[in-house]
Amino acid sequence: MQTQKITIGFIGLGVMGKPMALNLIRAGYTLMVHDLRSETVREVTAAGALDGKSPASIGANCEVIITMLPNSPQVKEVVTGKGGILEGAKPGSIIVDMSSISPLTAIEVAGKAEEKGVEMLDAPVSGGEPKAIDGTLSIMAGGKKEVFEKMEKILLAMGASAILVGDIGSGNTAKLANQIMVALHLAAMSEAMVFAEKSGVDPEKVFQAIRGGLAGSTVLNAKMPLVLERNFKPGGPILMHTKDLLNVRDTAQETGAPIPLTVQVLEFMKALKEDGHGMDDHGGIIQYWEKLAHVEVKRK
C-alpha cells in the first residue's frame, strides 16, 4: 500500500485528534475528516483536509480510517453503529483506533470489523496535547504484524515511536499500564512534596535535590515545575485520567489482576472531580493532599 497516495479518514478532532490530523496533512497525506463540532472540521479543512460528512461516508471513501474518540462507547458507535464506519467500509480497509479504551472493547470491535473483511489496530498514544502538537507521541499498537507494518509510516507521522505490543487489545493494555504508572508517580510526587511543605522544607529545593537520583522520573521533571507555578492548565486532565483508571478497574475485574494502589488513586481523582477540578491537569492531583494538610506547594 502506497500510503502517500491514499486518502486517510480521521474521525475525532478533539484536543489530541486535531493536532494529530494536522501533522498528517503536514506530512503530505490527503485527509477526509469528521467531528461533531463543525467549527473544528472547518479549521482542519482550511488546512487542506476534505469534509467527510459522516463515519459511513469516510468508511466508503478511505482505505485507512483513524479514530480518536473519548471512550469505548463512542468507538463502538462510530465503528459499528448505525451510519458507522463499517456501514460504508470496503473489504481490505484498515481501521486504526487511537482512542484510549477498554482492551475488551478493542477486541469486540475488531471482531465486528473482521466480519466485514476490515482489519483493525488498536493504537492508543501517550504524551498529551504538547506531544500531539509536535508529533512526538508514543504509540503502542495491538494487531496483526502485517497490518502494523502497513500503518507504521502513517503512525510515525504523528509520533516519535510506534511499537507493536501484541495482538488486538494489547495496545490498550499497554496504555492502561502506562496510565497506572503515571497516576502512581503523580500520587507519590504529591505525597512527598506535601510532606516536605508540611515539614517546613522548600519543596522546590527537595525537587532539585532528588530529581537526579533514583526517585527522579519523566513525570517528576514534567509536572513538578508546573505545580510550583500553580499551573494546572490541562495537558492530560484529571477527568480523562479518571476515565482511563476506570477502564483499568473494569479490565482488572475481568482478568483478575490485583490493582490496590490504582483503585486508591482513582478515588483521589474522583474526589477532585467532585470538588470541581476535573479539567485541571492530572498534576493537579496534589491538591488532594494539600487540602488534607492545609498547605499549598508553590515557588517561594
**CA 224 to CA 50: how far, in whole Å?**
41
Long-range contact set of residues 203-211: C-beta below 8 Å, sequence gap at least 24: 203/228, 203/297, 204/228, 204/299, 204/300
With contact defined as beta carbons under 8 Å apart, do 145 and 164 qualify? yes
| Separation of CA 87 from chain center | 26
Residues 6+ apart with CB under 8 A from 270: 242
Residue 145 annotated as catalytic: no
Cell numbers 508540611 correspond to what residue? 198
Residues 6+ apart with CB under 8 A from 78: 11, 12, 55, 67, 69, 84, 85
Handedness of CA 113, 114, 120, 121 (dihedral sign): positive
> Active site residue: 18, 131, 175, 223, which one?
175
Give the 3-state secondary structure of residue 269.
helix
Nearest in space to 185 (alpha carbons), one of 225, 146, 215: 215
Beta strands in the chain, from DSSP E residues, in sequence order: 7-11, 30-34, 50-51, 64-67, 94-97, 119-122, 125-126, 137-142, 159-166
Give the 3-state secondary structure of residue 90.
coil
Residues labelled catalytic: 175
